[in-house]
């Protein structure tokens, strides 16, 4: 799945939750700006699992994912984008 597609799922989720104004400049927002607590984080990851059809274990995502921008997070969730950013890596990104 492409990074842009994952990013569009993320943006739609938060636009529905907080309104379109909240997702202005979405790619550069840090996840922590829209995810307030661990329940929000789990709900968001479950939504992404449903939309992408992939299992995304919270243990792999980790609590630190909220410090990433949404664009960075989408890159970690997209194996091809992860490989571009981490050449030679054995991993395929978060939840791969």
Task: Give residue-wise pLDDT tens across range 35-73.
Answer: 999 899 989 999 999 998 888 887 767 668 889 999 998
Q: What is the mean pLDDT of the chain?
A: 81
Cα–chain-centroid distance for residue 34? 12
79 CB-side CA count, 13 A: 9
Q: What is the pLDDT, as a whole number, of residue 75?
A: 84
Taking a C-beta distance cutoff of 8 angstroms, is the pair 69, 26 a contact?
no
Taking a C-beta distance cutoff of 8 angstroms, is the pair 71, 2 a contact?
no
Averaged over 13-41, what is the pLDDT?
94
Considering just the CA atoms, what is the radius of gyration of the chain in Å?
Answer: 13
- Residue among 51, 50, 53, 49 at smallest CA distance from 61: 49
Total-model pTM: 0.78
7 or 58: which leads in pLDDT: 7
Domain boundaries of the chain, sorted by first residue: 3-85
Count helices and strands (H / E) in the chain. 5, 0
């Amino acid at each position: 799945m492409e990074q842009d597609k994952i990013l569009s799922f993320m943006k739609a989720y938060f636009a529905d939750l907080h309104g379109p104004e909240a997702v202005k400049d979405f790619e550069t927002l840090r996840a922590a700006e829209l995810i307030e607590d661990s329940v929000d984080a789990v709900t968001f990851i479950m939504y992404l699992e449903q939309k992408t059809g992939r299992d995304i274990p919270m243990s792999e995502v980790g609590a630190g994912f909220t410090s990433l921008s949404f664009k960075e997070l989408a890159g970690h969730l997209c194996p091809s984008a992860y490989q571009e950013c981490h050449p030679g890596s054995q991993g395929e990104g978060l939840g791969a």
